[in-house]
Chains A and B, each alone.
Chain A
């Protein structure tokens, strides 16, 4: 039996969806609306720049578009035509994890049937439904890398970073979203644009304090920090009060009067790392027992030891960690123990809690 006979409404539904996607440049969300029973009214709901599809028809619509798209794909001469666009739109909104369908859209971009800017907008809408879907991110990067080929505009990249952050908020530890952001940071660094990395460093600080168990966000910050420390040029746009952290770090314990390290080490890089260390401490105090925070702390200690492998830093760090561990030993017992154990191996100094 022909599929049209089975569910003729599918064509109307996908046309309706395509019309909405075409006409609303501010469309921001797509979602399924749970509605097990149909009532002979259109299952496409469109309110306030949000697009919803009632759940009862999803399987049927997907079946309709899937069969057609696959049969188009199986033809030897691949005739990409405008008729496939509504099919692809509905298919990808419902199931964006099919790479083949994204590839068909890629072909349509190359043929000039789809505009890259519209595609960025469309894929952002899909992302609102499946914020972790890797295929969507890959598609966006493909458009930037192969079609637009322009990474010089701060405005465009900032927008992309915002989209990444929104997706990250939609799904815990969304490493695909963070990888996406980092890819753009790398591209901007290749262009010798150092302002964006500082911007992201500041912005994700707040984000982290709102998502304290998000491993991927912490990891993103770790990558940013590595870039910041590695290249002095990255630091130039950063607003930070490093001197305060430095003072605090090297005078953390009155009983261990320290040699002030030579001026060489008073660079901004260490200041940034120390800022992060104190920020991390604040978070651990406020939010107890989050592995992500302790992992991040371990990374920070490791970074400090790795870059500044001199005795005064080692000692200051040991003192600092002893202070912190003692303070938190009651509330974060498990993690403190692990942390201290690791630190002992790393520093090769036994640490006794106060």
Chain B
């Protein structure tokens, strides 16, 4: 499926990251799953930004999902979660463009002090809807030809991004952003095929 699920803009502080704005498109998930999926995507977004170096790009594959991250030199970070059919280069171009537009709209000195409720950046929702079709980004891709493939680090699981000694299970258990239900959801889904067997 060629699909963008989530797009977020964050500020990467010295110790942790703060979400500045996020947009979701989760209609393809079941009604009762959306809440947990959204929470979990938010959790992954934050975790991955914290584990990406400044001025670096990463793409993390997890089953059929892709998580693209770009942390700029000025510590503004963008994360895009898509299906793995969505062209990776387009995804990264999109991140560049998003962060450019964000910094044009919101002055850089305010980033460290802001949180999600204080930011108005509805363009993010518009972009998420528009670029569901990667063809829309075609023109942009050509401009961004200089985007060098080698700069993007590709990981095949989320675990690979984590620092040494860290376990995803522990992070999930500790996370404050995840509700009890989402944690249970994670546990159930992790046991392969578990919810089918209930």
Contacts and interface: CB of A to CB of B under 8 A. Distances in A.
Indicate if A touches B (C-beta under 8 A): yes
Interface of A: 29, 31-36, 45, 47-48, 50, 52, 55, 58-59, 128-129, 169, 172, 209-214, 286-288, 290
B180 to A, nearest CB: 9
A209 B2 contact: yes
Interface in B173-195: 181, 184-185, 188-189, 195
Contacts of B32: 29, 31-33, 45, 50, 52
Interface string B15-36: 0000000000000101111001
B3 interface: yes
B28 A169 contact: yes
B188 A55 contact: yes
Contact of A50 (B1, B31, B85): B31
Interface in B51-81: 64
A288 B30 CA distance: 29
Interface centre among B2, B30, B31, B36 (most CB of A within 10 A): B31
Contact of A287 (B2, B30, B181, B185): B2
Interface in B83-107: 85, 87
**What DSSP secondary structure best describes chain B's contact surface?**
loop
B184 A31 contact: no
Interface residues of B, number: 21
Nearest to A53: B32
B31 A58 contact: no
Contact of B195 (A34, A169, A210): A34
Nearest to A45: B32
B30 A29 contact: yes
Contact of A290 (B1, B30, B85, B189): B85
A288 B2 contact: no
Contact of A169 (B1, B31, B189): B1
B129 to A, nearest CB: 14
Q: Would you list the 10 A-B pairs with minimal beta carbon distance, nearest first?
A: A50-B31, A34-B185, A31-B30, A52-B32, A31-B32, A33-B32, A58-B198, A34-B184, A210-B2, A34-B188
Nearest to B88: A288
Nearest to B185: A34
A211 B198 contact: no
A122 B184 CA distance: 29
A213 B184 CA distance: 31
Contact of B181 (A34, A128, A212): A34
B112 interface: no
A129 B32 CA distance: 11
A211 B2 contact: yes
B1 A29 contact: no
